[in-house]
Structure 1
Amino acid sequence: MAISRAIDGLNDRIASVVAWGLLAAVLICAVNALIRYSFNLSSNAWLEIQWYLFAAVFMLAAPHTLRRDEHVRIDVVVGRFSRRTQVWIDLICFFLFLLPVCSVILYYGIPFGLESLRSAEMSSNAGGLIVWPAKILVPVGFALMILQGFSEIIKRIEYLRGRLHESAFVKQAHGPQQEIEAIKQANRID
């Protein structure tokens, strides 16, 4: 469980930092639109930095989303089973889908990102930015997802052994107000 807690903590800290990237992207978008429509000035760099920030939010916060059990599920089917059966389904899906798919993307993403870094790849758009930071997000994001997958596997195995309560990995909020309260509670505890 110490390994699981360390992985959870890492992804929680990354998600907390990356959340500011979303605010930055929104502010850049708003300022860019104001300048473009007010002064008829624009730059591809401003558009690209928005894309990079969104990519960072998406890739680096996805493991945190998995940790909070906020990822897309087919609860209509799985929700009919007992908690133990649901945990077994999670484990099977982590081993058959999450880890293999993330591993393949990581395997191909590392050379993809490193080649872009090595060549100092630039955007083909006039006034565009360097591209490698966005491409490096692919292997980094999927490496973090693999780590979070292992953390989730550890928690579910501990649950099946009777050593962990399901609240450690099951989404607790079901409506918007409950979700807000759960986020507030998580921020107090973490």
Structure 2
Amino acid sequence: MGLLLAFSRGVDWVNEKFGRVADWCVFLACAISAGNALSRYGLNISSNAWLEVQWYFFAAVVMLGASYTLFRNEHVRVDLVYGALGDRGRLYVDIFGLIVFLLPSMALLGWMTWPYFLDALQRQEMSPAPGGLIRWPAKLLMPLGFFLLILQGLSELIKRIALLRGSMDGAEVVTEYHRPEQ
């Protein structure tokens, strides 16, 4: 279990760094949006490239921030049954959800978006808008984001199993299991 928990700590560290990148992308997207609005309406100067880079940053927020949100246990969950369960029951529900829903769906989405990205990269696909940007960096965010979610899902699975086995304590992991507030 020690090796798996070390892997989990490494994944948590990586996704925390990508979460910080997503934080900066929020700031950059907002700054570009404000600057674009000011230049468009104040100076009557416009560029499709600025609009598209703003969209790229928003895409990065979602695709890179999703795994960080899972790491922080701040994702949305339907709390009808979950809230009524004890700690062990919640762990079993989490394990079931990770194995049956999260990991298979993220693997499928990652597998489906990889060719989409590769095609854009090989063709050096450009936006059809005048002054538009190259598309592959934005399309790379999809398989990358799904891969990060798979890794974080595995990390969360390891942590839940370790908690059930009593193999995990605060000294062994970067973060402790946080149950949602009731």
TM-score using structure 1 length: 0.87
Aligned-partner Cα distance in 2 for 1:169–1:49: 36
* Counterpart for residue 186 of structure 1: none
User: How far does residue 18 in structure 1 lie from its aligned partner after superposition?
Assistant: 2.6
Gaps of 5+ in 1: 176-190
* Counterpart for residue 168 of structure 1: 176
Residue aligned with 1:69, SS: coil
Aligned-partner Cα distance in 2 for 1:41–1:94: 48
User: How far does residue 39 in structure 1 lie from its aligned partner after superposition?
Assistant: 1.3
* Counterpart for residue 125 of structure 1: 129
- What aligned pairs does 1:1-190 form with structure 2 within 5 A after superposition? 1-164=5-168, 168-171=176-179, 174=181
Q: How many residues align?
A: 174
Superposed CA deviations along residues 25-55 of structure 1, whole A, max 9, x for unmatched, are 1111111101111111111111110100010
Percent of aligned pairs sharing the same letter: 47
User: What is the identity, as a one-letter code, of the residue corresponding to 1:160?
Assistant: L
RMSD of aligned alpha carbons = 1.6
Superposed CA deviations along residues 117-147 of structure 1, whole A, max 9, x for unmatched, are 0100001112111111010110000000000
Aligned-partner Cα distance in 2 for 1:62–1:165: 26
Are the equivalent residues in 1 in contact too, given 2:106–2:149 (CA < 8 A)? yes
* Counterpart for residue 178 of structure 1: none
**Between 115-124 and 16-25, the greater mean CA deviation after superposition:** 16-25
Aligned-partner Cα distance in 1 for 2:18–2:42: 36
Superposed CA deviations along residues 7-26 of structure 1, whole A, max 9, x for unmatched, are 00010011112311111111
User: What is the identity, as a one-letter code, of the residue corresponding to 1:44?
Assistant: N
Aligned-partner Cα distance in 1 for 2:84–2:169: 20
Aligned-partner Cα distance in 2 for 1:171–1:44: 44
**Between 131-140 and 9-18, the greater mean CA deviation after superposition:** 9-18
User: What is the identity, as a one-letter code, of the residue corresponding to 1:75?
Assistant: D
Higher relative contact order (CA 8 A, sep 6+): 2
User: What is the identity, as a one-letter code, of the residue corresponding to 1:170?
Assistant: H
